[in-house]
Copies of this chain bind each other. A is one copy, B any other.
């Protein structure tokens, strides 16, 4: 391994001059600088960034803990985050939620002196949250938030649930099913609240079996959808707690030979790009004006750069918009 020492020897200067050429090139005489630069080339020298990090106690690296990329929402956030990090000269270490215990990830982040954490994967009452706060590492949560406090950017999920439910009611539906993901997660928790609130306001009971809280794996979603469709009193509309859920739900419905929205209306939440594909045309509620990943990253870098200064919590709530497409239609009269 060629080190700055080797370069120094070849160039006939001290090792610290080599270091200076790298860090404060103006502080070294042009002639010497050139000699050093040439020596570096000759040896194809590459500074050991680990050693540098040890001294400077900085790594220019952030951590991203993300949900599965099979969910298009996380494709969008992951892409914006990595791109934004790259453009600021930061690298991104990517961890998947549930691939290893959150606590281990946080330890790894602390140990590697990563400079910030972006994470989608917190539960409402996750004990890791207080650990993260305690560790002092700058962080932004996105999509989900903890039960209280914290820095986050989220959708107004209660409102989102209300809006989509109202849309379905406006179409005349009454037997409405709702498929939700894990309720210990703020998105699903709040969206469901919105749904229930509007149903109640409309004087409608959510029939037993019509509210499904499930593991959001495609197979589970399909199983649940089939179960709903085989109910004696089949729903005339299904609202899904996310677009990813809605896609699998749609897949199952179509596989039965049913038509959407003629036989059943379907709506999702989150605005992922595939939702507007002409073969899908999924009615959703979400925010397309602002990219959640970019907002999260932006705020994180601000926090990193203003370093240490007192920070009040950053809590950003985006307003949902309704995107009425082709999967929801008027209830047919018989």
Contacts and interface: CB of A to CB of B under 8 A. Distances in A.
Number of copies: 2
Contact of A251 (B51, B247, B278): B278
A231 interface: no
Contact of A99 (B1, B83, B94, B110): B83
A232 interface: no
A96 B94 CA distance: 12
Nearest to A99: B86
A49 B114 CA distance: 11
A230 to B, nearest CB: 18
Interface string A271-287: 00110011110000000
Interface stretch (A68-76, A195-203, A235-243, A300-308): A68-76
A81 to B, nearest CB: 10
Contact of A279 (B49, B68, B94, B280): B280
A250 B279 contact: yes
Contact of A277 (B94, B99, B247, B273): B247
Interface of A: 1, 46-51, 53-54, 57, 59, 61, 68-70, 75, 78-79, 82-83, 86-87, 91-96, 99-100, 107-108, 110-113, 247, 250-251, 254-255, 273-274, 277-280
15 contacts: A46-B111, A48-B54, A49-B112, A51-B54, A68-B79, A69-B69, A69-B75, A69-B78, A91-B93, A91-B112, A94-B94, A250-B277, A250-B278, A255-B278, A279-B279
